A and B are shown apart, each in its own frame.
Chain A
C-alpha cells in the first residue's frame, strides 16, 4: 500500500497510489494512514483518484481512519472513481463525508475558506 502525502499550512492531502483498497490491504491502509496523520493539520483530504476498486473492507478502513482522527479533525474525500462512488452511495457512507471532485478542488476550497 503506497501513499503519497503533501502537507500545506491548513490541509494535508494523502494520495493513494495503489489502484485498489480491498480485503488484502485494508488493515495496512488503516495503519499507514494512522501513522501519517498522527501529526499535522486538522483537515486531511484523501485523494482516491487512482483507486479503481474499493470493497467493504476498504470502506470500513476509510471510516476507521475518519474515527481515528477524532472529533477535532476531519477526513474529507476527493476524486472518487465510478465503482468507488457506487460503494459509498449504496452504503450511504457518502453522507458522512465531504466529497470533492478532485484533490485540487478540495485544496483550493481550503484556500478560499
Chain B
C-alpha cells in the first residue's frame, strides 16, 4: 500500500512519494486527482493535468529506472494562474542532460510507417508552461506549470 498523501490543508499543496511502477503510477494519479489542488480544477484542466503527470511519471518509470521501481516524489503547489509541479527522482539522467525535443512523429498515410510512440514529450511540452529540467546531486528535478484554464 502507498502512504496517504501528505496534505497541508492551509496551503492546499500536495506532496506524494512512491516507488514508480506502472500500477503505482496509476494509483498515484488517482490519489492526486482526488485531492487538492487538482480536485478544484475544471474537468478540462484536470484532464490535462492527468495527461501531463501520466506522461512524466511513465517516462520516468521506464527510462530513469529501467531496472525496476525507484523512488519518485511529486509536489503540487497552487500558484497564481495554475499549479506549480515538481517531480523528483534519483534515477538515470536525461540523455545529454536535457529534455527530449518532443517532436511529433509525422502523420503517415502508409500503414506500416504509422507511429506507435514518441508522443509523450510532445504532449508534455504542449500542455505545460515553464518546463525546466535540472540534474543535480544524482537527482532529476523536473518542474512545470499546469495552467488553470487547461
Query: Does A95 make an interface contact (CB < 8 A)?
Result: yes
A49 at the interface (CB under 8 A from B): no
How distant is B42 from chain A, measured CB to nearest CB, in Å? Answer: 11
Is B112 a contact partner of A86 (Cβ separation < 8 A)? no
A9 within 8 A of B: no
* A22 in contact (CB, < 8 A): yes
Q: How many residues of B contact A (CB 8 A)?
A: 31
Chain B residue nearest in CB terms to A65: B116
User: A3 near B: Cβ within 8 Å?
Assistant: no
Known: A22-B54, A23-B61, A56-B58. A92 touches B104 (CB 8 A): yes
Which residues 15-32 in B have Cβ within 8 Å of A in the complex? Answer: 22-23, 25-26
A64 at the B interface (CB under 8 A): yes
Interface residues of A in 66-113 (CB under 8 A from B): 66-67, 70-71, 82-83, 86-87, 90-93, 95-96
Listed in ascending order, the chain A residues whose CB lies under 8 Å from chain B are: 20, 22-24, 53, 55-57, 59-61, 63-64, 66-67, 70-71, 82-83, 86-87, 90-93, 95-96
